[in-house]
Amino acid sequence: MKKIMINECKVRFRAISRNESFSRSTAAAFAMQCDPTASEIAEIKTAVSEAVTNAIVHGYRDSAGDVEMIMRLYEDSTLYIQIRDRGAGIGDVHAAMQPMFTTAPADEERSGLGFTVMESFMDKVRVRSAEGRGTTVTLEKKIGGKSGAR
């Protein structure tokens, strides 16, 4: 059965680090309408933060641009958050999603765990990417809520 979307919000912001906290607070604000628990909010914020940071530090490593975030809520309390950049893209998505895989230079001290964190906090993580064209990460989580079945 097709899911019914009940709300949608799109934001676009510059790919600069000060927008990392903006984006995670924005996602949390959108998610509030489905009555999430504090831990669900924390998980959503962390996953969004990882995806947006990736867009900024990897996608636009050698260029400037915007990040687009689309948030959707479905009738069954499933939250979708799509984070898109039009930056460098990823040659091998499967390899990039392995724990400890990073292309960042050693002095940046990245651990290569961003996708692993997203996958542990969200129900689904999908990545579409093409080199030179950019990356779209779709996060999905069903919100149980304070009064929900969890």
State the residues that interact with ligand ATP by CB under 6 A.
50, 54-55, 58-59, 85, 87-90, 96, 101-104, 110-115, 135
By CB under 5 A, residue 26 contacts Mg ion: no
The residue among 72 and 84 lying less far from ligand ATP, judged by its C-beta, is 84
Q: Does 136 bind Mg ion (CB under 5 A)?
A: no
Pairing of strands 124-130, 134-142: antiparallel
93 vs 145, beta carbon nearer ligand ATP: 93
Are the C-beta atoms of 59 and 14 separated by less than 8 Å? no
d(Cα 145, Cα 150) in Å, to the nearest integer? 8
Could you tell me the two tokens for 134? Answer: 């950019």
DSSP class of residue 87? S
Contact range with Mg ion by CB under 5 A, out of 8-16, 47-55, 65-73, 137-145: 47-55
- Residue 122 CB, shortest distance to ligand ATP, in Å, is 14
Active site residue 54: yes
Burial of 38 (0-12, 13-18, 19+ CB in 10 A): exposed
Taking contact as CB under 5 A, which single stretch among the options 50-58, 83-91, 93-101, 120-128 is the one that binds Mg ion? 50-58
Contact call for residues 23 and 13 (beta carbons, < 8 A): yes
- d(C-alpha 36, C-alpha 150), whole Å: 11
Region 102-131 residues binding Mg ion, contact defined as CB under 5 A: 114
Is 110 an annotated catalytic residue? yes
Name which of 36 and 87 has its Cβ closer to ligand ATP.
87
Q: Check residue 54 for interaction with Mg ion (CB under 5 A).
A: yes
Rounded to whole angstroms, how far apart are CA atoms 77 and 8?
A: 13
Catalytic residue numbers?
50, 54, 110
Site residues (vs Mg ion, CB under 5 A): 54, 114
